[in-house]
Amino acid sequence: MFTYHLRPGGTLRGNLRVPGDKSISHRSIMLGSLADGVTRVSGFLEGEDSLATLNAFRAMGVEIEGPDQGQVVIHGVGMHGLKTPNGPLDLGNSGTSMRLLAGLLAGQGLDLVLSGDASLSGRPMCRVTDPLALMGARVEATQAGTAPLHIRPVSGLKAIDYALPVASAQVKSCVLLAGLYAQGETCVTEPAPTRDHTERMLQGFGYEVKKEGSRICVQGGGRLAACDIDVPADISSAAFFLVGASIAPGSDLVLEHVGMNPTRDGIITILRLMGADIEVRNQRNVGGEPVADLRVRHAPLKGIRIPEEQVPLAIDEFPALFVAAACAEGETVLTGAEELRVKESDRIQVMADGLQALGVDARPTPDGMVIRGGRLHGGEVDSHGDHRIAMSLAMAALRSDGDIRISDCANVNTSFPDFVGTAARAGLDIGVAHE
């Protein structure tokens, strides 16, 4: 167990590069393992979630060198070269690993089990097992529809045309990856745009992806060709510092080489609507992904009604945005974000509890939150083992008038292994106690 201790005040200044994008790190291992040839990855996120994916493919017979300072070399085994592991694949806390692997492995003819920690074992998996069943897969969950998932071999999968009930990049990716092994053309229609890293990376590996409006299709039976991947800095990890520098007077911070995928940039749009001063510099394209440097300076924020069309584009960043709302003048209203209740924690309730403990008027609703900005005082809050909750509440100390103590922070290592050191170098007064 780790507890964060934060002293109030401070400013964020200088230049920093946050760790590599978790979504892209996961997918680089998955597709690199199934490609023909050797894939070289730089900027790989050496967090527990990404390493869970890496270790799963090692357990299925893929030779992977590294990671060594973000460098990974993957010796691909081809589309049908994976082997049955000796035991269950332990995916720790990583919902991305479990949901994407369920699709990727459903048509491989392997008999295996995907397991995870207590948090992952409480998250809903029917959202992927249901469409996979329509494709002819046998992926068995518990009676509650949760992990562990038992994938049983089938003779083959059939293509489907699937309309997503909710906007979810993980479900979309699961179905598309299963479609690589299906007979015919598998299509997914999204109710709203979600992150498109799977589609971009499939094309980077030479696999054709058709997109017409909100409909994405892949033809089964193709092959992947190895390539080099440069993983940009994760905008979800940059989000804490975008908020921190926005709320702390005197801050002037540059975040380098941040992934600016248009399906992920809702955090910037929403903060700017609140009055944030964010400058996008040095825009460029790296391996099919847009990248830029972000300069953020303190600015007075105002409460807004968050546009629902921005919700899927910032779904992982709302814990940080809730802190921005707590420091804004007036009321911020979020609706259409019920997905937040089935993340690593119930992020609506847990953030409401945390902000209330710091003196903030935060009222949870079934699909969002209503937050009235005001003074923050010190206090003790529980992150409930959720990495994004812990890092978001840490930034609240920049505007609090007393010490903040955040418990159960060990899972920060899933996405940001050196968060404490990085935040301290930027100007946050943070310490750690082991319990």
Domain count, the chain: 2
E runs forming strands in 341-408: 361-365, 368-372, 379-382, 404-407
Per DSSP, 3 falls in state: E
Decide if pLDDT at 269 tops 90: yes
Judging by DSSP bridges, how do beta strands 71-75 and 63-68 pair with one another?
A: antiparallel
**Residues 329, 202 share a domain:** no
Decide if pLDDT at 71 tops 80: yes
Residue 83: Cβ within 10 Å count? 13
Residue that finishes a domain, picked among 206, 230, 254:
230
* N-to-C CA span, the chain: 5
Report the pLDDT averaged over residues 195-210: 95
Bond prior to 67 in cis (omega within 30° of 0)? yes
What does the pLDDT look like over 140-185, one tens digit per residue?
Answer: 999 999 999 999 999 999 999 999 998 899 999 999 999 999 999 9
Mean pLDDT score across all residues of the chain? 96
Which tokens belong to 390?
Answer: 């812990």
Check: CB of residue 93 under 8 Å from CB of residue 48.
yes
Report the pLDDT averaged over residues 282-290: 88
Give the residue numbers marked as catalytic.
316
Task: Report the pLDDT value the prediction gives residue 300, as an integer from 0 to 100.
Answer: 98
Task: Report the pLDDT value the prediction gives residue 117, as an integer from 0 to 100.
Answer: 94
Distances, alpha carbon 273 to alpha carbons 88, 269, 277, in Å = 46, 6, 10
Say how far apart CA 256 and CA 295 lie, in whole Å. Answer: 9
SS3 370: strand
Say how far apart CA 24 and CA 196 lie, in whole Å. Answer: 10
Say how far apart CA 303 and CA 341 lie, in whole Å. Answer: 22
Task: Report the pLDDT value the prediction gives residue 234, as an integer from 0 to 100.
Answer: 95
**Residues 132, 26 share a domain:** yes
Task: Report the pLDDT value the prediction gives residue 286, as an integer from 0 to 100.
Answer: 83
Decide if pLDDT at 435 tops 90: no
Say how far apart CA 146 and CA 243 lie, in whole Å. Answer: 34
Check: CB of residue 435 under 8 Å from CB of residue 16.
no
Residue that finishes a domain, picked among 230, 254, 282:
230
pLDDT bracket for residue 278 (50, 70, 90)? very high
What does the pLDDT look like over 95-147, one tens digit per residue?
Answer: 999 999 999 999 999 999 999 999 899 999 999 999 999 999 999 999 999 99
Task: Report the pLDDT value the prediction gives residue 65, as an integer from 0 to 100.
Answer: 98
Decide if pLDDT at 287 tops 90: no
The CATH number of residue 84's host domain is 3.65.10.10
Instruction: Give the domain extent around 116.
Output: 22-230
**Residues 268, 200 share a domain:** no
SS3 158: strand
Question: Would residue 69 be called left, alpha or beta, if left means φ above 0 and alpha means ψ between -120 and 50 degrees?
Answer: left
**Residues 216, 259 share a domain:** no
**Residues 214, 86 share a domain:** yes
Which tokens belong to 187?
Answer: 């299509």
Decide if pLDDT at 346 tops 80: yes
Task: Report the pLDDT value the prediction gives residue 343, as an integer from 0 to 100.
Answer: 87
Closest residue by Cα to residue 318 from 299, 293, 338, 291: 338
Distances, alpha carbon 294 to alpha carbons 21, 262, 265, 316, in Å = 15, 15, 12, 19
Task: Report the pLDDT value the prediction gives residue 288, as an integer from 0 to 100.
Answer: 79
The percent of residues above 70 in pLDDT, for the chain, comes to 100
**Residues 315, 210 share a domain:** no
Say how far apart CA 283 and CA 294 lie, in whole Å. Answer: 10
Angle at 354 between CA 349 and CA 356, to 5 degrees: 95
Report the pLDDT averaged over residues 372-387: 96
**Residues 361, 260 share a domain:** yes
Closest residue by Cα to residue 222 from 270, 167, 183: 183
**Residues 406, 298 share a domain:** yes
Say how far apart CA 400 and CA 308 lie, in whole Å. Answer: 29
**Residues 93, 16 share a domain:** no
**Residues 190, 301 share a domain:** no
**Residues 226, 301 share a domain:** no
**Residues 304, 222 share a domain:** no
Residue that finishes a domain, picked among 201, 230, 259:
230
Decide if pLDDT at 285 tops 90: no
